[in-house]
Amino acid sequence: MATDDKNDRARVVTYVSTNQKTEWTEHADELGMSQAEFVRTMVQAGRNDFTLESSATVEPDSNTADPGGGDLETQVLEALESNGSLSWEQLVDSLSADFEERLEACLESLQATNQIRYSGRNGGYTTIDS
């Protein structure tokens, strides 16, 4: 869809299990989000994870249309639009709400593929030498 209108929208339909929908609904409610906003936010968060390896370690210029894909400016605006005024702490909480869950899932995946392991002797996670 080629358009410059930021308000132009297209409908996306998907099907998930009843249990998955219930989880998403509960999580959206906890975050004070609509289900649509929750799904959009989670998809963008997932897309950001896929682009992190190939992107620069320094955040691109904020004046670009979409720095880093799913840019921080968009996330801040969405948080403020859905919640009204937010303090610094509330913004941080809103933008990082699912980070621990995502990190845990990532660590479990890396352990399952034998790329990392937890080492008490080394005081934390470590890579597994090939």
For residue 75, the model assigns a pLDDT of 80
Tell me: pLDDT of 56 over 60: no
For residue 69, the model assigns a pLDDT of 44
Q: Which two tokens stand for residue 89?
A: 């702490």
Tell me: pLDDT of 68 over 70: no
For residue 7, the model assigns a pLDDT of 62
For residue 130, the model assigns a pLDDT of 47
Q: In percent, how much of the chain has pLDDT > 90? A: 2
Return the HEC string of 4-64: CCCCCCCCCCCCCCHHHHHHHHHHHHHHCCCHHHHHHHHHHHHHHHHHCCCCCCCCCCCCC
Tell me: pLDDT of 38 over 80: yes
pLDDT tens for residues 82-127?
888 999 888 888 877 767 777 888 888 888 889 999 888 888 988 9
Burial of 27 (0-12, 13-18, 19+ CB in 10 A): middle
Q: Which of 4-8, 36-40, 85-89 is the most confident on average? A: 85-89
The pLDDT-based confidence of 54 (bands split at 50, 70, 90) is: very low
